[in-house]
Copies of this chain bind each other. A is one copy, B any other.
Amino acid sequence: MLTIGIVGAGLRGRLFADALEDQTGVQVVGFAEKSPGVAADAATATGLPVVPGIDDLLTDHDPDAIIVATPDFAHRGAAVAAATAGKHLLIEKPLATNLDDAYAIADAVEAGGARCLVGFENRWNPHVVRAHDLVASGDLGSPITSSATLSNSYFVPTQMLSWAAASSPAWFLMPHTLDMLMWLTGSTPVTVSAVGSSGVLAARGIDTTDVVHALVTFADGSTANLTSAWVLPDAGEGIVDFRFSFIGTEGSIAADLSHQGLTVVSDKLRSEWPLGASIGRSKVGPPRWMVQQFAAGLLDGGEIGPGVRHGLEVTKTICAIEEAMADGSSVAVAEMTPAGAEL
- Stretch in A1-9, A31-39, A98-106, A247-255 touching the partner: A247-255
CB nearest to A330 among chain B residues? B328
CB of A211 closer than 8 Å to a CB of B: yes
> Separation in Å of the A325 CB from the closest CB of chain B?
10
Given contacts A199-B221, A227-B147, A249-B200, contact A293 B302 (CB under 8 A): no
A196 contacts across to B, CB distance below 8 A = 223
CB of A236 closer than 8 Å to a CB of B: yes
Flag if B251 contacts A233 (CB, 8 Å): yes
Flag if B259 contacts A259 (CB, 8 Å): yes
Q: Is the interface of A mostly helix, strand, loop or mixed?
A: mixed
Number of copies: 4
Flag if A147 contacts B144 (CB, 8 Å): no
- Stretch in A49-57, A268-276, A311-319 touching the partner: A268-276
> Separation in Å of the A131 CB from the closest CB of chain B?
7
Known A129-B274, A193-B195, A257-B261; 7 more pairs at CB < 8 Å: A130-B274, A211-B247, A213-B215, A213-B225, A232-B265, A253-B263, A256-B261
List the interface of chain A (C-beta within 8 A of B). Answer: 24, 123-124, 126-127, 129-131, 133-134, 139-140, 144-145, 147, 149, 191, 193-197, 199-200, 210-211, 213, 215-217, 221-225, 227, 229, 231-233, 235-237, 243, 247, 249-270, 272, 274-276, 279-282, 284, 289-290, 292-293, 296-297, 302, 305, 328-330
